[in-house]
A and B are shown apart, each in its own frame.
Chain A
Amino acid sequence: MKEQIVAKFRQIMAFLNKDKNPYFFSIGLLVLGTLTVYTSPRSIPGFLLFVFAASSIYWLRMNRGIQLALAVFVAIILVPILGARNVFYLEVIFQIAVFSALALGLNIVVGFSGLLNFGYMAFYAVGAYLWAFFGSQQPYLLHSTVTTKSLNTPFFLAPDWFYLFIFLGVIVAAILGLILGLPVLRVRGDYLAVITLAFGEIVRQLANNLDKPLNFTNGPQGITPIQRPTMPEGILKVFNTIFDPVIGHRITDNQAYNILFYVIALLVVVAVIFVTFRLDDSKVGRAWTAIREDELSAGAMGINANKMKLGAFFVGASFAGAMGVLFAASRTFVSPETFTFLQSVQVLTMVILGGIGSITGVIVGATVVTLLNIQVLQSFSLFLSQLRQSDAAFLGFHFKNLSNQLDPSKYQRLVFGILLVVMMIYKPAGLIPAARRKRELTEGEGDDAVENEVARG
């Protein structure tokens, strides 16, 4: 049965990749997807079709140049236009970008070098709080509590410092990664997982409690408002004059900001992807893999495992720092709620679902989980609440009686949890496994047993 499906799939792929077929299919899908989303901006199948069409640029075999041109066209022209018609999609894509960068960062630590990290959100939190503190009125409010805050306190920095802070976020988070990495070098495996979990919780609790003696984080209420960078006026004007007829209305200030943050997130993600690809293919990347597979042998081959592990923490944390700054600016609000253990596990789910160590896989994982999280579950909730209001009955059960508490969008834990268990049991290498990882997981069982024996001594 399985072989038949695989054979059929291969056949279809071969047909799609024949001659000029990929160009027709990809462009055809794109036109179709764009038209559906354009005409009915609220349709979810339409949006999923569009996402599928965009992804086809990647997985169909085409000329590299044309692929790149198509991707740039979709990213720079199509998405902003469609996004301006329904800002929700820009939000979805923005979140996909943010989580892709986070998942890629975690992938370096977990996937490339095999160091399980449950406290990854700490670095994201540090980036977010960095800009939240300096990009708001908070530095002037160190001695005041939530209630005594005066409304006309000036902002500490001009909004355009934001761009510098993206780089500062990278540096600060990376240094924090080093600080966490230093003691962690002494432990491995599950103890490492627990220690990072504790670290993540400590950072969150600090964010929660550092409203006294000096009010750094404003406690559980979080910091707001945080400044956004100033809108580049010229670009907005050009955008409006060109796309006004297509979009059908002049975009509002908020929509413009959505597009701006989308573009910045896109740039960061492209940079992150570039760095990850280069690292994976470098001496450092191979050293990480070697450590992951067998630290002892790697050491014998002259790899400085400690240095490499620190490097993994350093790079992984830096991605999260940059995204944290971006997140704080785009939300204009941060609170400790955003950086819980649940969020760390969510990013881990993305990495594992997509394929540990596989760059494409991780991005696919981030896309799928984000879509699941903020779109599929949400619309399922909506569907249930509509059922509740209707008179429908199924097998004698009246949906009116369905409890209000059954709200799928609030059951992310269940979804992530089951995803993790099922993936571990049936597909530990992920949906799109990394080539090296796949080999390791199929052959590694024997090695592990030997390792255990050695450890037992």
Chain B
Amino acid sequence: MRNIMGAGPAREIIMPIIQMAIFVAGAGALCSVVMIILALLFQGSGADHLLQSTQGVGIFAYTVGNLPQVLIDGMTIGFVYAAIALGYTMVYGVLQFINFAHSEIFAIGAFAGVESLIALNAVKKLADAGRIEAFTYFGLALLIGMAMAGGVAVLVERVAYRPLRGSPKLVPLISAIGVSFALQDIIRMTESLTTGQFFRVIPAIDYFDIHKHPFAFLQIPVIKDIDIQVKSLVVILAAVLMLVALNYLVKATKVGKAIRAVAQDPNTAAILGIGVNGIISLTFLVGGSLGGAAGVMYALKFTRVDPFVGFMPGIKAFAAAVLGGIGNLTGALLGGIVLGMIESFAGAYLGTFTQGNFGAEYKDMVAFLILILVIIFRPNGLLGENVGQKA
């Protein structure tokens, strides 16, 4: 008890924020340096000449000029991935099983959030909402999305995973794939039966579309032009808040201690009076609601959601969880941010550097390649303990 609480709960709030800052700065700096070196190497190449003739800037100036925007995009999407990856990693930590349906839990969160904003929009026009109103409405949508996603995640565990506990490893995995597919169509069916179409577009909130220049006062050439959409700020803020809350829950509360105990050894935990089933449900609730929140943030950023929206972010977030070391909360954070950065850099520069031969459409493949390489060469991830043989 003393060991965990002794350092004081405040530490569990400050530590993750510092960690996140380090991760973002580190990953961003590393990617930027690699990119700048590449840009220097590419000077005078065909790509350079092409840029000179079409946009009137050299490849070096182009790379540096775009860096801030790319970094901010990478950070935004990285935090979304981190929030999803936490769901995978928590479930893996407790049950040693990949919850494939997590990507659909994410989609359910996205739909619930978008639907509630659409409902709000019918009552009161969201486009004209002021700052406080906009934040309130978005917060409400976020909560509804979290509640729905968390609820469905618990239900899924009860119906499709709990009866299979203790069976050979591949059995629950196949069941999870089944749930994932069934949920996609259940979302589609509900949406198309109630609204007549299976994709939804989030109503515009004009306040979130404003572009801010937070560093204009610095008067440094590239930095003063940094342009952040309020939307991205909201996503980053919401994600950071939630990640801190989760970290606090798991590391500094009694419930969190129970979760860690079950993850370490369910049998002993049960002997010591912890309700293992309840804790597993709770894990799904927490992981699911984080996924749902990520869904709402994703919807805010990319505006359109469809029932299959979860597949790509889901698999990328899984890649992030593996990259960071599955079962490790800090690892999921790190993995999400790194993957978001790499993806953002690939999306922004791949096309330019290869003269359009390999464009941004390869950025999904980058995530898959990272996943494959990490699993083969470092299956326990950047921060993970040794799970290679178990997996």
Contacts and interface: CB of A to CB of B under 8 A. Distances in A.
Contacts of B182: 413-414, 417-418, 421
A190 B98 contact: yes
A122 B173 CA distance: 21
Interface stretch (A193-201, A379-387, A388-396): A193-201
Contact of A405 (B170, B171, B196, B390): B196
Nearest to B367: A198
Contacts of B167: 428, 441, 445, 448
A374 to B, nearest CB: 17
A452 to B, nearest CB: 8
Among A206, A414, A452: residue with most chain B CB under 10 A? A414
Interface stretch (B127-135, B183-191, B208-216, B238-246): B183-191
A222 B193 CA distance: 32
B123 interface: no
A206 B361 CA distance: 10
Interface string B17-34: 000000000000000000
Interface in A171-187: 183-184, 186-187
A420 B315 contact: no
Nearest to A418: B182
A271 interface: no
Contacts of A183: 372, 376
A202 B365 CA distance: 6
B177 interface: yes
Interface in B167-182: 167-175, 177-182
A452 B169 CA distance: 10
Contact of B181 (A187, A209, A417): A417
Contacts of B177: 118, 345, 348, 417, 420
Interface string A205-218: 11011001100000
A116 B173 contact: yes
Contacts of A184: 376
Interface string B52-91: 0000000000000000000000000000000000000000
B168 A444 contact: yes
The binding surface of chain A is classed by DSSP as helix
Interface string B367-383: 01101100110010000
Nearest to B365: A205
B3 interface: no
Interface string A411-447: 1111011111100110010000000000001001100
Interface stretch (B158-166, B218-226, B291-299, B332-340): B158-166
B389 A417 contact: no
Interface string B131-171: 00000000000000000000000000001100110111111
Contacts of A197: 315
B311 interface: yes
B364 interface: yes
B318 A352 contact: no
Interface in A296-348: 341-342, 345, 348
A114 interface: yes
Contacts of B311: 341
A455 B387 CA distance: 9
A417 B178 contact: yes
B interface, how many residues as a size bin?
Answer: 35 or more
A213 B357 contact: yes
A202 B391 contact: no
B375 A195 contact: yes
B375 A212 contact: no
Interface in B334-362: 356-358, 361-362
Contacts of A206: 365
Contacts of A198: 315, 319, 368-369, 371-372
Contacts of B388: 187
Which of B170, B364, B371, B379 has the most A CB atoms < 10 Å from its CB? B170
Contact of B175 (A189, A202, A420): A420
Main secondary structure of the interface of B (DSSP, over half): helix
A66 interface: no
B253 interface: no
B192 interface: yes
A4 interface: no
B390 A424 contact: no
A405 B356 contact: no
B376 A414 contact: no
Nearest to A351: B174
A406 interface: yes
B17 to A, nearest CB: 31
Nearest to A190: B98
Contact of A448 (B159, B169, B265, B362): B169
A421 B197 CA distance: 27
Interface in A209-252: 209, 212-213
A425 B160 contact: yes
B42 interface: no
B355 to A, nearest CB: 9
Contact of B371 (A189, A195, A405): A195
A333 B390 CA distance: 43
B169 A414 contact: no
A277 interface: no
A421 B163 CA distance: 11
A403 interface: yes
B372 A199 contact: yes
B112 to A, nearest CB: 20
Contact of B178 (A199, A342, A424): A424
B364 A420 contact: no
A120 to B, nearest CB: 13
Contact of A421 (B175, B193, B357): B175
B172 A424 contact: yes
Given A201-B315, A420-B181, A424-B172, A455 B390 contact: yes
8 contacts: A114-B170, A116-B170, A193-B173, A198-B368, A414-B185, A416-B181, A425-B175, A449-B166
Interface of A: 114, 116, 118, 183-184, 186-191, 193-195, 197-199, 201-202, 205-206, 208-209, 212-213, 341-342, 345, 348, 352, 403, 405-406, 411-414, 416-421, 424-425, 428, 441, 444-445, 448-449, 452, 455-456
- What are the 5 A-B residue pairs with the smallest beta carbon separation, nearest first? A420-B178, A417-B182, A405-B192, A417-B181, A414-B185
